[in-house]
Structure 1
Amino acid sequence: MNFAIFQLPTLPLKEEKLSTYIKAIKKGSVVVLGEYVLNFFFHDLKNSPKELLNKIAQSKLTQLSKLAKKYDLTIVAPVVCGDEKKIYKKIAIIDGEKTHYYMQQRLISFSHWDEENFFANPKSKNFKLPYIFEKDGLKIATLFGFELHFDEIWLKLKQADVDVVILCTASTFDSNNRWRDLCKARAFINSCMVVRANRIGEYIEDGFKWKFYGDSFVALPNGKIEDNLGEKEEILCVEIQKEEIDKFVKEWNFR
């Protein structure tokens, strides 16, 4: 089946622009967006009224649902939504008929980037199995980028025999090589493919530029990068077959 990684900055997400990209995508594909593409970047939105953030999110999700149904797609899109009191960080899995959600389990809590104290996502020491859906024989899981770092989540994915992990990221600064190494290692140890969608764009604070550098890619179960994008607005389409992944599973016997 086909995966289409949309490497984009934050979008107003008017249906006309997405339709231009989606018309070229094979029907039945899984379309993946990076973090903070449906919404502005964290530092731009954290002072916005929560009710307004939710209204914007619901409007965009409605647009995506229409596109998914019209073009027979499954769209995986991180979103910030909630109500007038609480806002949550989730991944929406939209198939045109229904929308499922995965709630991020572990959020960034750094002094310069503190999502944990802003979002109302439940805090727990124990990880749950992330949301998994099946398509064309593949077991597909969705994760946020920060969750790449926690062994407990990946052990659960291995035990669940997940074939493909969709990783939605907003990676910045000089972290490119580290993210590549981590994704390759996770793909190898779990005998799965990691489909990483990273946003592009810039955020400037006190004269310091945060550059989101793209480099979206697919990491193979043999620990190699199959294909990748640059740092511009681009789309990467990759065909992934269950039989191809099963060969690696049998060869290494890690799961």
Structure 2
Amino acid sequence: MNLVSLQIKTDEDFSKNLKHLKDLITKAPQDSIILAPEIALSGFCYDKMQEAAEFSIKAIEQIKQLAINKTIALTLITEENGKFYNTLHIFDKQEVIHTQSKVKLFPLGNEHEYFTVGKKEDIKIIEINGIKIATLICFELRFPQLWQKVKGADIILNPSMWGIKRKDHYETISKSLALINQCFVIASNSADFNMGKGSAIISPFGNVNKDDEKEMIIQEIDLDEIKKVRKYINIGLDN
């Protein structure tokens, strides 16, 4: 199977962003898990939150149609009972099969002033086509207690809008996530001018496939590598 990390810029035009995302998803190989950067369709558009939430409804229906032989994951601005959330959606077999909203809002970006915190219990391992998958959204990477909730996953997703000033932090923590959990990590960071890029596919042994010049980082993987690493260096993770 293939893992695909998207490393794209977010324009002010939501429709332009959706078209670009759909084009990249279409170009990605079959039998792929595809991850987009955090709220890639809208960015942190605090002056247009309601518009973004309404656009997300439209985007969800269109992305569903592309989830044939491809699993697609991205976060979107959503609204419920007058509150806004940064919500991950995972699409498979033309359905939304999992959602979770960001539980650790980034204080330096004033996210807490605009978003409502999600539920910690929604951070969990789900199974897709026999593969154990979990997600930590951007700033959530920094919280060791949340790492416990994804322990045992085969693949951990991390959609981010991580700033360029902390680029080294992002790359170091992402690699550590793969090493500590002996699993694959898809790190997908924004390519906006003030963002750190550093998107990568990281193996259970810590091998990093990244290229800050590319919009798509694609790697064909062998899931047996997880079992091999966990057997070679046994730290008690489930096989």
Give the TM-score of the pair, scaled to structure 2.
Answer: 0.87
The answer to whether residue 176 in structure 2 is matched with residue 185 in structure 1 is: yes
CA displacement, residues 224-254 of structure 1 (integer Å, 9 cap, x when unaligned): 32x1021x45111112222111111111212
Q: Which residue of 2 aligns with 1:46?
A: 46
The answer to whether residue 195 in structure 2 is matched with residue 174 in structure 1 is: no
Greater share of residues in strand:
1
Q: Which residue of 2 aligns with 1:66?
A: 65
Show the 5 A alignment for 1:70-85. Answer: 72-83=69-80, 85=82
The answer to whether residue 116 in structure 2 is matched with residue 104 in structure 1 is: no
Deviates more, 1:5-14 or 1:57-66: 5-14
Structure 1: gaps of 5 or more residues: 203-210
Select 2:210's aligned residue among 212, 228, 233: 228
8 Å Cα contact 1:137/1:242 also seen in 2: no
Deviation for aligned residue 1:148: 0.7
Q: Which residue of 2 aligns with 1:140?
A: 133
Q: Which residue of 1 aligns with 2:37?
A: 34
CA displacement, residues 191-228 of structure 1 (integer Å, 9 cap, x when unaligned): 112110011113xxxxxxxx113221022222332x10
CA distance in 1, matches of 2:21, 2:85: 24
| Counterpart secondary structure, 1:215 | coil
Select 2:218's aligned residue among 218, 231, 237: 237
Structure 2: gaps of 5 or more residues: none
| Counterpart secondary structure, 1:175 | helix
CA distance in 1, matches of 2:153, 2:207: 18
Greater share of residues in helix:
2
Select 1:218's aligned residue among 197, 201, 221: 201
Q: Which residue of 1 aligns with 2:28?
A: 25
Deviation for aligned residue 1:16: 5.1
Say if 1:51 and 1:19 are closer, same or farther in 2 by CA, change over 3 A. Answer: closer
8 Å Cα contact 2:3/2:221 also seen in 1: yes
The alignment covers a number of residue pairs equal to 232
CA displacement, residues 79-98 of structure 1 (integer Å, 9 cap, x when unaligned): 11114721111111012432
8 Å Cα contact 2:186/2:200 also seen in 1: yes
Deviation for aligned residue 1:21: 2.7
Q: Which residue of 2 aligns with 1:2?
A: 2
Amino acid corresponding to residue 91 of structure 2 in structure 1? I
CA distance in 2, matches of 1:176, 1:216: 10
8 Å Cα contact 1:9/1:233 also seen in 2: no
Q: Which of 1 and 2 has greater Rg?
A: 1
CA displacement, residues 116-166 of structure 1 (integer Å, 9 cap, x when unaligned): 23112247xxx43624333454211122011111111112222xx211101
Amino acid corresponding to residue 251 of structure 1 in structure 2? Y
Q: Which residue of 1 aligns with 2:112?
A: 116
Cα-Cα RMSD? 2.1
Amino acid corresponding to residue 150 of structure 2 in structure 1? L
Select 1:150's aligned residue among 143, 147, 169: 143
8 Å Cα contact 1:200/1:213 also seen in 2: yes
| Counterpart secondary structure, 1:60 | helix
8 Å Cα contact 2:155/2:183 also seen in 1: yes
Amino acid corresponding to residue 218 of structure 1 in structure 2? I
CA distance in 1, matches of 2:220, 2:128: 13
CA distance in 1, matches of 2:154, 2:118: 27
Say if 1:74 and 1:122 are closer, same or farther in 2 by CA, change over 3 A. Answer: closer
Q: Which residue of 2 aligns with 1:206?
A: none
CA distance in 2, matches of 1:60, 1:243: 35
